[in-house]
Chains A and B, each alone.
Chain A
Amino acid sequence: MLQKPRGRGRPSGQSEREKDWGRGGDCRAARGGVAEEAPSTSRGVGGSSQGARRAEASPAVGPRSQQQLELKVAELVQFLLIKDQKKIPIKRSDILKHVIGDYRDIFPNLLKLAAERLEYVFGYKLVELEPKSNSYILINSLEPVEEDAELRGDQGTPTTGLLMIVLGLIFMKGNTIKETEVWDFLRRLGVFPAKKHLIFGDPKKLITEDFVRQRYLEYRPIPHTDPVDYEFQWGPRTNLETSKMKVLKFVAKVHKQDPKDWPAQYCEALADEEARARPQTVGAAPSVGTAEGRRGKGTG
């Protein structure tokens, strides 16, 4: 079992060599000068000593076997899964540099196939963070259930709780909120910007750096303030991973009230739901996958 990747990665099997896997000859034709501009660093982020095995997988210019392409998709899937663990959007340039190498000419195809596998096998949807942003994130297609958190046994949940509080605060205050207001609110919950918190660690860093880098929050200085104050809005990942209605329901649950007790927010959330339901809406998740990728997704 373990020996397989090496054997399969090599362009040795002449019999199956000619099965082209990118769309016909078109993409090959485009290859010409691309190869030399990006030396294949397929070995990924790992460093030097372990490069040997993977170097074999990068072919010289020439026809690529089905196996080589399959391996490339596998590397891409693994790269995306690993990178997503940090919840930081994955840049297209990093994918090209660390995984794609001299397969650049068929990158869109490879990405599409990886997206299909990710959705069918793992239930993760690969989406572009914002149109033309050239960075990608994975969205879980499976609804979270409460026991997951227990079984998960990681730190995902407590920080998610804090994130939901901040997201709720932003939404309830009309989609933009000053940083000072956030801390005023959190102080009442025993979370202080400058004090290490038992669960959240450094709350200031978590909210103004980590959640921002993960693109859950937008954080920017308010013009003409002295000393400068900052404001928060929802980041693009938030719109993809959750919705106004879900956040409103969270807020309502915390207050032991009904979402309809906030009519303005409820209407806004409802309108948002309707907009989401419409296909091809601007701002809806621009899925890289295709309809095919959703094939196996029924409930089991």
Chain B
Amino acid sequence: MQGGTRRVGTMTDVHRRFLQLLMTHGVLEEGDVKRLQKHCYKVHDCNAPVEKLEDFINNINSVLESLYIEIKKGVTEDDGRPIYALVNLATTPISKMASDFAENELDLFRKALELIIDSETGFASSTNILNLVDQLKGKKMRKKEAEHVLQKFVQNKWLIEKEGDFTLHSRAILEMEQYIRETHPEAMKICNICHSLLIQGQSCDTCGIRMHLPCVAKYFQASSEPRCPNCNDYWPHEIPEVFDPEKHREAAISRPSKKPSRSRQH
């Protein structure tokens, strides 16, 4: 991978502005990334044709490689929307969070992360998380404060909340997969299809293998009678639909526009 095998690309101000803006967001959906790319071309170089997003990002990644940074593409675990995040590989994700959070807050995140990974569903209830506040390192935290801190994790796109339960944001999954593999090798779950970290998904009642929802959708897309890829037993869950960017775009237009979430204090 090193040296001559891969051509290192060239950076221009278009790429630099793109990186700066991507960094302030932390994570973006594909549509927004394309909008961002177009914006950067417009600011610096109106005449050049907009490069295909994949090539544009590959070019940047070839330069980022020596800095152990990467723009990673992933999909959301629930409905398979493609997303992009700038991931640091030389710094642990927790130390990346350390500029925004105090020591006891980071420890709360570690505890929540542990509960989420250990859980069957990929969700940890707020009650279970809040019950751990007495064990936190650093300054003492009250439950009321802890609730507030959990909301801050949601705002900064590290956690997602669904009806009082918390799971990892796809951004956190992209950034933390390596870290989780190292710190929770036994507890973590792997998808049988794509072999990456799985937090929420479906599992086979017979043999216990797990699959991401988007992976389930793709794998069973054409089959009328879904069977487990491992034990061939009947797959007992509802098969979700494959993510369709066209459909998503229509839905986004008809939906009232959402305010951009405020993620980072400057």
Contact = CB atoms under 8 A, between A and B. Distances in A.
Interface residues of A, number: 54
Given A2-B178, A47-B107, A75 B99 contact: no
B94 interface: yes
Interface string A144-176: 010110011111100110000000000000000
Q: A-side binding surface: helix, strand, loop or mixed?
A: helix
B21 A151 contact: yes
Contact of B110 (A49, A75, A78): A49
Given A54-B92, A154-B262, A46 B98 contact: yes
Given A87-B266, A154-B262, A74 B10 contact: no
A300 B70 CA distance: 21
B236 to A, nearest CB: 33
Contact of B90 (A71, A85, A148): A71
Nearest to A163: B266
A153 B263 contact: yes
Nearest to A201: B265
B73 to A, nearest CB: 12
**Which has the most chain B C-beta neighbours within 10 Å: A4, A78, A151?**
A151
A122 B89 contact: no
Nearest to A98: B95
Contacts of B103: 47
Q: B-side binding surface: helix, strand, loop or mixed?
A: helix
Contact of A50 (B17, B36, B92, B261): B92
Contacts of B95: 43-47, 50, 82
A64 B119 CA distance: 43
Given A52-B182, A151-B36, A78 B92 contact: no
Interface stretch (B61-69, B202-210, B224-232, B238-246): B61-69
Contacts of A85: 99-100, 264, 266
Nearest to A99: B91
A142 B63 CA distance: 19
Interface residues of B, number: 58
A137 to B, nearest CB: 13
B145 interface: no
Contacts of A156: 24, 264, 266
B177 interface: yes
A296 B12 CA distance: 7
A75 B10 CA distance: 22
Given A77-B67, A153-B260, A83 B99 contact: yes
B14 A154 contact: no
B11 interface: yes
Interface in A234-277: none
B25 A120 contact: no
Contacts of A1: 70
A75 B91 contact: yes
B96 A82 contact: yes
A43 B93 CA distance: 11
Given A47-B107, A50-B183, A74-B68, A296 B262 contact: no
A154 B263 contact: yes
Interface in B1-57: 1-2, 10-17, 19-21, 23-25, 35-36, 39, 43-45, 48
A140 B113 CA distance: 35
A24 B44 CA distance: 40
A77 B24 CA distance: 16
**Which has the most chain A C-beta neighbours within 10 Å: B25, B89, B177, B266?**
B266
A49 B21 contact: no
A234 B99 CA distance: 25
A159 B266 contact: yes
Interface of B: 1-2, 10-17, 19-21, 23-25, 35-36, 39, 43-45, 48, 63-64, 66-70, 88-92, 94-96, 98-100, 103, 106-107, 110, 137, 177-179, 182-183, 260-266
In the A-B complex, list the 7 residue pairs whose CB atoms are closest, starting with the nearest: A300-B12, A153-B260, A46-B95, A123-B16, A44-B95, A156-B266, A45-B98
22 contacts: A1-B70, A4-B89, A44-B98, A46-B94, A50-B94, A117-B66, A121-B19, A122-B19, A123-B16, A148-B39, A152-B21, A152-B25, A153-B24, A153-B260, A153-B261, A154-B262, A154-B263, A154-B264, A155-B264, A155-B265, A297-B13, A299-B45
